[in-house]
Amino acid sequence: MIPLPATAPPTFHEALRLWLKQRFVSFGGPAGQIALMHEELVMRRRWISEKRFLHALNFCLVLPGPVAQQLAT
């Protein structure tokens, strides 16, 4: 896969709007929320790279507690 160039960092209002949307669209449980975060953060908005997202996800998987919430944080 060819990495796409990163975009400018999000403003506070853009990030807030995204996280509010993620909060209210919570179907599919944690797996669905992680997939939605990946789609928005990596594929659509390109705020972070695929490698960084997967690194964060792997780290959250070894921690106890809700994975999707930890990843969003």
- Domain boundaries, position 59: 28-72
Please check whether residue 10 lies inside any domain of the structure.
no
Please check whether residue 64 lies inside any domain of the structure.
yes
pLDDT digits (tens, 9 = 90+) for 13-30: 998 998 888 888 777 788
Please check whether residue 8 lies inside any domain of the structure.
no
The pLDDT confidence band at residue 3, using thresholds 50, 70 and 90, is: low
Please check whether residue 14 lies inside any domain of the structure.
no
Whether residue 59 contacts residue 51, with contact meaning beta carbons closer than 8 Å, is answered with no
Please check whether residue 43 lies inside any domain of the structure.
yes
pLDDT value at residue 7: 73
pLDDT digits (tens, 9 = 90+) for 42-62: 999 999 999 999 999 999 999
